[in-house]
Structure 1
Amino acid sequence: MSRVCQITGKRPMVGHHISHSNTKTKRKFYPNLLKKRFFHPEEKRWITLRVSANGLRVINKKGLATALNEAKEKGYITKY
């Protein structure tokens, strides 16, 4: 399973470790992903999503159905 948020589409970013001597080596910054279950009231079932902390805030603000529809339109999620 890839490290991608299913609501916001956040992915790992690439950057540098910078040592005391200013040597730069590649590193990755991973999103804060959580595996979370949500109850979908229209379908009357539980859905498990892999969402970032920011994705949880989006779901709390807009609601689960709206957030899922927007994620489908943007291509972040195909089925749930």
Structure 2
Amino acid sequence: MSKSCQITGKKAMSGNNVAHSNVRTRRKFNVNLFAKKFYWVEQDCWVTLNVSAAGLRLINKIGLDAAIKNAAAQGFLS
């Protein structure tokens, strides 16, 4: 499974490690992901999602049902 949030669509980025001597080497900035189980009241079932910390805050703010519908409309859920 890819390292991306199923709610916000955040993915790993690439960038540079910069040493004190200003030598640059490529590195990856991974997403702060959690495999989290949520109880979806509207469907009366448990759902396991890979969500980032920003995705958790979004679920707390707008609710699980609205967050899943937005993610499905934008194509983040499979």
Q: TM-score range by the shorter chain?
A: over 0.9
Query: Aligned pair count?
Result: 78
Deviation at 1:7, TM superposition (A): 0.1
Alpha-carbon distance in 2 for matches of 1:66, 1:51: 15
The structure 1 segments of at least 4 consecutive aligned residues displaced by more than 6 Å after TM superposition are none
Corresponding residue of 1:48: 48
Alpha-carbon distance in 2 for matches of 1:77, 1:43: 16
Corresponding residue of 2:16: 16
Identity of aligned residues (%): 50
Structure-1-length-normalised TM-score: 0.95
In structure 2, the gaps of 5 or more residues are none
Structure-2-length-normalised TM-score: 0.98
Give, as a single letter, the amino acid of the residue that structure 1 aligns with 2:10.
Answer: K
Deviation at 1:20, TM superposition (A): 1.1
Calculate the aligned-residue CA RMSD, in Å: 0.5
Alpha-carbon distance in 2 for matches of 1:20, 1:61: 41
Give, as a single letter, the amino acid of the residue that structure 2 aligns with 1:49.
Answer: L
In structure 1, the gaps of 5 or more residues are none
Give, as a single letter, the amino acid of the residue that structure 1 aligns with 2:50.
Answer: R
Alpha-carbon distance in 2 for matches of 1:46, 1:75: 21
